[in-house]
């Protein structure tokens, strides 16, 4: 799960496993596998970084538990 900010300033948490496409048009639009689209303030690169950080945290917990 990653936290993002909608254009109205409201912060939401999304399941990054459901992200299908992230595009800047010029606003950043996240399209989920469900077909839902979310427009956010963060850049495409920031979304990529958040997803990488989330996955790194998930894998480090899994490795540490073994």
Cis peptide before 26 (omega within 30 of 0): yes
| DSSP codes joined into one string, 22-43 | EEESSSEEEEETTS-EEEESS-
pLDDT value at position 8? 97
Query: What confidence tens digit (pLDDT) does each residue in 9-39 have?
Result: 999 999 999 999 999 999 999 999 999 999 9
Task: Grade residue 62 by pLDDT with cuts at 50, 70 and 90.
Answer: low
The HSE-up count of residue 64 (CA atoms within 13 Å, CB side) is 6
Domain ranges of the chain: 2-65
């Amino acid at each position: 799960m990653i936290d993002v900010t909608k254009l109205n300033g409201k912060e939401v948490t999304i399941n990054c496993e459901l992200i299908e496409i992230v595009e800047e048009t010029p606003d950043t639009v996240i399209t989920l596998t469900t077909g839902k689209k979310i427009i956010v303030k963060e850049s495409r690169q920031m979304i990529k970084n958040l997803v990488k950080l989330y996955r790194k945290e998930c894998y480090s917990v899994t490795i540490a538990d073994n």
